[in-house]
Amino acid sequence: DTGVSQDPRHKITKRGQNVTFRCDPISEHNRLYWYRQTLGQGPEFLTYFQNEAQLEKSRLLSDRFSAERPKGSFSTLEIQRTEQGDSAMYLCASSLGKDVGEAFFGQGTRLTVV
Amino acid sequence: GIQVEQSPPDLILQEGANSTLRCNFSDSVNNLQWFHQNPWGQLINLFYIPSGTKQNGRLSATTVATERYSLLYISSSQTTDSGVYFCAVRPLYSGGGADGLTFGKGTHLIIQP
CA atoms within 13 A on the CB side of A52: 3
Give yes or no for A107 touching B (CB within 8 A). yes
Nearest C-alpha neighbor of A105 from the set B23, B55, B33 = B33
pLDDT digits (tens, 9 = 90+) for B39-57: 888 899 999 999 999 999 9
Determine the 3-state secondary structure of A52 from DSSP. Answer: coil
Evaluate whether B15 touches B74 at the Cβ level (below 8 Å).
no
Chain A closest-CA separation from residue B43 CA (Å): 6
Give chain B's length.
Answer: 113
**Can you give the pLDDT at residue B6?**
98
Distances from the Cα of B85 to the Cαs of A38, A83, B36, B105, in angstroms?
15, 29, 5, 9
**Can you give the pLDDT at residue A82?**
98
Ranking A27-41, A63-77, A86-100, B47-61 by mean pLDDT, the lowest is A86-100
> Cβ separation of A56 and B100 shorter than 8 Å?
yes
| Residue B96 DSSP code | T
Which residue type, as a one-letter code, is found at position A109?
T
Q: Give 3-state DSSP helix, strand, coil % of chain A, rounded to 5.
A: 5, 50, 50
pLDDT digits (tens, 9 = 90+) for B88-105: 999 887 654 557 899 999
Taking the C-alpha atoms of residue B82 and residue A40, their distance in angstroms, rounded to an integer, is 15
Question: Which among B48, B101, B105 is the top mutation candidate for probing chain A, defined by the most A β-carbons within 10 Å of its own β-carbon?
Answer: B101
Ranking A41-55, A79-93, A97-111, B42-56 by mean pLDDT, the lowest is A97-111
Whether the pLDDT of residue A47 is over 80: the answer is yes
